[in-house]
C-alpha cells in the first residue's frame, strides 16, 4: 500500500508539473488576453481602477503552485483507487491497469464535466453566480463518476454474449450521459468574450488536463512495472 501510494504521489507531482508547464506555455497567452479584456471592460463601465490582490506574475506562480498541489492530491486519490479496483480490471499488467484507470478517470472526471460546463477564461464569469456554478460543477462531476461506476458494475455483473454486452454497456453509458446533460441546467453566465479567445483558452485547458492525466497514468504504470523491493 505504501509503495503504490508513494508512486501515486510522485506521478501526481509529475502530472501537476505537466499541467503547470502546459499552463505556462499554451495557457499564458489566452489568460493574459482575457485579463487585459476584463480590465478594459471594467475601466469603461465603472471608471474605477480595480485593485488587484496579487500581481500578474504572482498569480501565474500561484496558479502553477495550485496545479502542482492539485496534481499531488489527484495522485493520492488515483493510487488508492488503483489499489482498490486494480485487482478487478481485466488487464495483463500493472501499467495496463494504470493506463485503463487513467483513461476512464479522465473521461469521467474531466471530459464529461468539461463538455457540460466548459472552462472559461478570466473575462467570463459573474461573481454573483460563482457558488451556484460551483454546485452545478460538483453535480456534473459527481453524476459523471457515479455513472461510470454504475456502468462498470453493470459490465462486470451482467452475463451476456460479448457483443451484446458491449452494445448494452455502451447504450447504458450513452443513456446516462444524455440524462445528465438534460437534467442539469446550463451555465447561468453569458459568455460574451470573443469566441476565438474562449476557444483558445478552452483548448489549452483541456490539453493541459489531458497532459496531466496521461502523465499520471503513464508514470504510475512505469514505476509500478519496476520490480518491487518490498511492498
User: What is the x/- site pattern for another protein, positions 8-47, by CB under 8 A?
Assistant: -----------xx-xx---x---x----------------
User: What is the x/- site pattern for another protein, positions 178-197, by CB under 8 A?
Assistant: --------------------
Q: 200-216 burial, b if ≥16 CB within 10 A, otherwise e?
A: bbbebbbebbbbbbbbb
Q: Is 102 in the site for another protein (CB under 8 A)?
A: no
| 40 vs 134 by CB, closer to another protein | 134
Q: Is 166 in the site for another protein (CB under 8 A)?
A: yes
Tell me how far apart the terminal alpha carbons of the chain are, to the nearest angstrom: 7
| 135 vs 183 by CB, closer to another protein | 135
Q: 49-76 burial, b if ≥16 CB within 10 A, otherwise e?
A: eeeeeeeeeebbeebbeebbebbbebbe
Q: Is 162 in the site for another protein (CB under 8 A)?
A: yes
Shortest distance, CB of residue 182 to another protein, whole angstroms? 21
- For residues 7 and 227, what is the distance between their CA atoms, to the nearest angstrom? 13
Q: Is 108 in the site for another protein (CB under 8 A)?
A: no
Question: How far out from the chain centre does Cα 71 lie?
Answer: 10
- Select from 135, 84, 86, 74 the least CA-distant residue to 110: 74
Shortest distance, CB of residue 171 to another protein, whole angstroms? 14
Q: How many residues in the shown chain lie near another protein by CB under 8 A?
A: 73
Amino acid at each position: 500500500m505504501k509503495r503504490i501510494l508513494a508512486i501515486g504521489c510522485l506521478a501526481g507531482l509529475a502530472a501537476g508539473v505537466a499541467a503547470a508547464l502546459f499552463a505556462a506555455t499554451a495557457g499564458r497567452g489566452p489568460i493574459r488576453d482575457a485579463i487585459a479584456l476584463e480590465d478594459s471592460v471594467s475601466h469603461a463601465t465603472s471608471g474605477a481602477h480595480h485593485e488587484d490582490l496579487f500581481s500578474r506574475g504572482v498569480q501565474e506562480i500561484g496558479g502553477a503552485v495550485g496545479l502542482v498541489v492539485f496534481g499531488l492530491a489527484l495522485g493520492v486519490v488515483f493510487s488508492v483507487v488503483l489499489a482498490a479496483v486494480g485487482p478487478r480490471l481485466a488487464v495483463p499488467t500493472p501499467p495496463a491497469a494504470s493506463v485503463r484507470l487513467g483513461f476512464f478517470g479522465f473521461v469521467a472526471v474531466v471530459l464529461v464535466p468539461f463538455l457540460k460546463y466548459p472552462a472559461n477564461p478570466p473575462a467570463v464569469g459573474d461573481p454573483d453566480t460563482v457558488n451556484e456554478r460551483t454546485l452545478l460543477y460538483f453535480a456534473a462531476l459527481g453524476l459523471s463518476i457515479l455513472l461510470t461506476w454504475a456502468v462498470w458494475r453493470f459490465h462486470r455483473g451482467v452475463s451476456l454474449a460479448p457483443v451484446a454486452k458491449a452494445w448494452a454497456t455502451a447504450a447504458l453509458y450513452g443513456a446516462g450521459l444524455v440524462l445528465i446533460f438534460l437534467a442539469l441546467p446550463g451555465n447561468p453566465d453569458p459568455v460574451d468574450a470573443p469566441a476565438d479567445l474562449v476557444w483558445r483558452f478552452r483548448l489549452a485547458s483541456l490539453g493541459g488536463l489531458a497532459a496531466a492525466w496521461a502523465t499520471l497514468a503513464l508514470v504510475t504504470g512505469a514505476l509500478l512495472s519496476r520490480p518491487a523491493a518490498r511492498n
